[in-house]
Amino acid sequence: MRQLAVETDVRYPPYRQIIMPDQATDGALVYRGEIPDLPGCMAHGDTVEEAQRNLAKAKELYLEVLVEHGRPIPRPTPIAQTSGTSALEGNLKVNFRVIAQGAPA
């Protein structure tokens, strides 16, 4: 696998990640992660930690494909510029509270 300079380049701050509880098709609780600055870059896991690990792998593959195809690497949106008004961001506080308290019964 090709190493990406963007991963260790201090000019690129980390991408904002959103992890939230979701429901699998069988009704089981899972956690879905997304990187808003990388459209379509998402992953899931049975735990928050697994979703984070899977999302890190998805991000690496996403950026690798961009590099291989000569596409520009999107710069992360500075957190100060995020609106907090999208459906995803609007539910962020609620979702983190659910994660902190555990799965609903």
Write the pLDDT tens digit of every residue in 37-55: 999 999 999 999 999 999 9
Which pair of structure tokens corresponds to residue 53? 């690990």
The dihedral sign for the CA sequence 73, 61, 87, 19: negative
Expressed as residue numbers, the domain containing 9 is 5-101
CA distance 51 to 20: 9
Residue 32 is which amino acid? Answer: R
- Tally the domains of the chain: 1
Instruction: Please give the sequence-ordered ranges of beta strands (E in DSSP) within 24-71, or none if there are none.
Output: 29-34, 42-45
Length of the chain: 105
Q: What are phi and psi of 59, to 5 degrees?
A: -65, -45
Mean residue pLDDT across the chain: 75
Residue 13 is which amino acid? Answer: P
DSSP for residue 28: -
pLDDT for 94 beyond 90: no
Task: Check which CATH number belongs to the domain holding 59 and give it.
Answer: 3.30.160.250
- 81 falls in which pLDDT band (50, 70, 90)? low
DSSP for residue 18: E
pLDDT for 59 beyond 60: yes
Instruction: Give pLDDT tens digits for 10-38.
Output: 445 588 899 999 999 999 999 999 999 99
pLDDT at residue 42 in the model: 95
- 79 falls in which pLDDT band (50, 70, 90)? low
